[in-house]
């Protein structure tokens, strides 16, 4: 009887007790120590020889040049001894960047798959510990008719597991969404459209008023090797052809080439999904980071496997040269003069491709050294030349602090233009006075100071931030110290007549 009561009590604790443990579903690391190093120290050591800062003969550091926002990657999933030198180029590229979420997509090697298989584990075991799975994103992918939760197919599949430690070594903290896609091009297209929509749902660097900003974005990663078991020379020809389709965002051409056998990708639909999703999410450039094949590592060039590391990204804005700055100032001056004299906005024939790039800008008018108008567009929704023209009109006629500029004032008006970089979310301690323009936002309230405000006022950072909150955003002056207030910085290329 006592034994029966004891068993009942134990059962009650298990089913009803508040202290009962609920075991997490963990996807175990099945390739650790064979396909890739067994612990994070060994991983760091292996990658260091490829990712250490290069030094030229004169002792000057040679960083990897890059100007843009990384949206998608292709990484090889072969055993590290064969492909780590290729994948390491992507590690070098994204090291230190911040991504909240990584959607990792690969093929199934062990069994045939029709559709899209999402892992239903709560976390993945890795040499770095447990990597949390983002079930919210997983559920949003699962709305596709082709998709289903299928932990069984993930359990022993290596294509995602082998790639994951590269990302962990580069990024640190992020949540993972593991996806395996089958053989249908329709499945890859549906997946691409869905994850691109999720990317756009995620909060960008400057969200709409009332939305909380995230500290990092989303990254798509495709796991795929290239040609298999050709000679060294044949592999080079085939894989270069394949990379040419990818570099040109030519997904339809790539599909045709895959069907005809012109090219090979063992993770073809993963590559197509990430390639198309990246384009839909705003990527407008592709960089092949490195290509090699197993013959480059083993010396056996009779039957090789190809590996490529590729980045899909949105190009950053470049600096303006002296002629471009002069053209913008001339344009702004003519705009202010014509609008003040006739009320009409001039049009311009722009040949410079740089001035056609979308970018934010402010136009500042001064008279006798005093501010006479200043209005701008921070993010930029039009070509730069058009933004400057329109802001010249606004600064001369719509700044609520000043009356409209008259024809009689034109001879005394001096124009200053600030061309802005895209804003990025930061912590208050990261603000550098004189270098950074700053935006503070809480809910629908927002204020902005250009970088030159700090130089003009001589304020300390505390005075600068207090004034920005109180006088520009209409918040409490120390609102910038609160977690509920978003802070963004941007830089400006400032030039004047």
Give the range among 30-44, 95-109, 191-205, 256-270 with minimum mean pLDDT: 191-205
CB 177 within 8 A of CB 218: no
CB 243 within 8 A of CB 254: no
Q: Is the pLDDT assigned to residue 354 strictly greater than 70?
A: yes
CB 350 within 8 A of CB 406: no
Angle at 157 between CA 177 and CA 183, to 5 degrees: 80
Which pLDDT score, from 0 to 100, does residue 24 have? 81
Give pTM, 2 decimals: 0.67
In the block, residue with structure tokens 């198309």: 276
CB 285 within 8 A of CB 80: no
Provide the token pair at 206.
């400057």
Domains contained in the chain, CATH given: 23-51+64-315 (3.40.830.10), 322-496 (3.30.700.20)
pLDDT digit string, tens, across residues 363-393: 999 999 899 999 998 877 789 999 999 999 9
Provide the token pair at 294.
């197993």
Mean pLDDT of the 185-190 span: 96
CB 67 within 8 A of CB 143: no
Calculate the dihedral angle through the C-alpha atoms of 118, 119, 121, 124, rounding to the nearest 10 degrees.
-120
Contacts of 235 (CB under 8 A, 6+ apart): 226, 227, 293, 295, 304, 305, 306
Provide the token pair at 413.
């008006």
Provide the token pair at 29.
């690391």
Q: Is the pLDDT assigned to residue 305 strictly greater than 60?
A: yes
CB 478 within 8 A of CB 469: yes
Q: Is the pLDDT assigned to residue 54 strictly greater than 50?
A: no
Provide the token pair at 436.
């950074």
| Residue of higher predicted confidence among 392 and 205 | 392
| Residue of higher predicted confidence among 203 and 382 | 382
Calculate the dihedral angle through the C-alpha atoms of 321, 327, 331, 337, rounding to the nearest 10 degrees.
110
Give the range among 54-58, 185-189, 366-370 with minimum mean pLDDT: 54-58
Give the pLDDT band (50/70/90) at residue 76. very high
Which pLDDT score, from 0 to 100, does residue 66 have? 64
Secondary structure, 3-state, the chain: CHHHHHHHHHHHHHHHCCCCCCCCCEECCCCECCCECCCHHHHHHHHHHHHCCCECCCCCECCCCCCEEEEEEEECCCCHHHHHHHHHHHHHHHCCCCEEEEEEEECCCCCCCCCEEECCCCEEEECCEEEEECHHHHHHHCCCCCEEECHHHHHCCCCCCCCHHHHHHHHCCCEEEEEEECCCHHHHHHHHHHHHHHHHHCCCCCCCCCCCCCCCEEEEEEECCCCEEECHHHHHHHHHHHHHHHHCCCHHHHHHHHHHCCCCCCCHHHHHHHHHHHHHCCCCEEEEEEEEEHHHHHCCCCCEEEEEEEEEEEECCCCCCHHHHHHHHHHHHHHHHHHHHHCCCCCCCCCCCHHHCECEEEEEEEECCEEEEEEEECCCCCEHHHHHHHHHHHHHHCCCCCCCCCHHHHHHEEEEEEEECCCEECCHHHCCCCCCEEEEEECCEEEEECCHHHHHHCCCHHHHHHHHHHHHCCCCCCHHHCCCCEEEEECEEEEEC
CB 440 within 8 A of CB 468: yes
Return mean pLDDT, the chain.
88
């Amino acid at each position: 009887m006592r034994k029966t009561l004891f068993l009942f009590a134990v059962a009650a604790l298990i089913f009803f007790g508040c202290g009962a443990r609920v075991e997490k579903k963990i996807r175990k690391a099945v390739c650790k120590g064979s396909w890739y190093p067994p612990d994070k120290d060994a991983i760091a050591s292996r990658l260091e020889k490829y990712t250490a800062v290069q030094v030229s003969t004169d002792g000057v550091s040679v960083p990897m040049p890059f100007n843009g926002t990384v949206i998608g990657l292709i990484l090889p999933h072969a055993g590290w001894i064969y492909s780590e030198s290729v994948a390491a180029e992507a590690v070098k590229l994204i090291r230190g960047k911040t991504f909240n979420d990584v959607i990792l997509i690969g093929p199934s090697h062990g069994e045939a798959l029709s559709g899209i298989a999402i892992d239903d584990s709560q976390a993945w075991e890795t040499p770095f510990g447990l990597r949390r799975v983002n079930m919210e994103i997983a559920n949003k992918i699962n709305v596709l008719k082709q998709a289903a939760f299928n932990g069984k197919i993930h359990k022993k599949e290596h294509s995602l597991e082998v790639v994951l430690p590269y990302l962990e070594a580069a990024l640190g903290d992020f949540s993972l969404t593991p996806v395996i896609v089958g053989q249908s091009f329709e499945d890859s297209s549906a997946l691409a459209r869905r994850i691109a929509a999720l990317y756009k749902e995620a909060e960008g660097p400057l969200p709409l008023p009332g939305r909380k900003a995230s500290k990092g974005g989303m990254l798509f990663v495709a796991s795929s090797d290239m040609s298999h078991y050709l000679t060294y020379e044949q592999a080079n020809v085939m894989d270069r052809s394949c990379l040419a389709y990818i570099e040109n965002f030519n997904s339809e051409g790539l599909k045709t080439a895959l069907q005809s056998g012109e090219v090979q990708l063992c993770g073809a639909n993963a590559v197509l999904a990430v390639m198309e999703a990246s384009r839909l999410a705003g990527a407008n450039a592709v960089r092949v980071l490195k290509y090699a094949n197993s013959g480059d590592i083993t010396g056996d060039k009779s039957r090789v496997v190809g590996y490529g590391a590729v980045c899909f990204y949105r190009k950053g804005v470049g600096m303006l040269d002296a002629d471009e700055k002069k053209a913008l100032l001339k344009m702004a001056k003519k705009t202010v003069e014509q609008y003040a004299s006739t009320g009409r906005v001039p049009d311009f024939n722009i040949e410079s491709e740089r001035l056609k790039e979308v970018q934010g800008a402010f136009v500042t008018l001064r008279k006798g050294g005093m501010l006479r108008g200043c209005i701008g567009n921070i993010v930029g929704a039009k070509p730069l030349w058009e933004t400057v023209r329109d802001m010249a009109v606004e600064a001369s006629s719509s700044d609520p602090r000043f009356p409209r500029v008259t024809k009689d004032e034109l001879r005394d008006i001096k124009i200053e233009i600030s061309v802005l970089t895209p804003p990025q979310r930061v912590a208050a301690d990261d603000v550098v006075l004189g270098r950074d323009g700053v935006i503070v936002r809480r809910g629908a309230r927002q204020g902005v100071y250009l970088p030159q405000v700090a130089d003009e006022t001589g304020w300390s950072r505390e005075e600068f931030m207090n004034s920005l909150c109180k006088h520009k955003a209409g918040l409490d002056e120390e609102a910038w110290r609160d977690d509920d207030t978003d802070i963004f910085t941007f830089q400006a290329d400032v030039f004047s007549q």
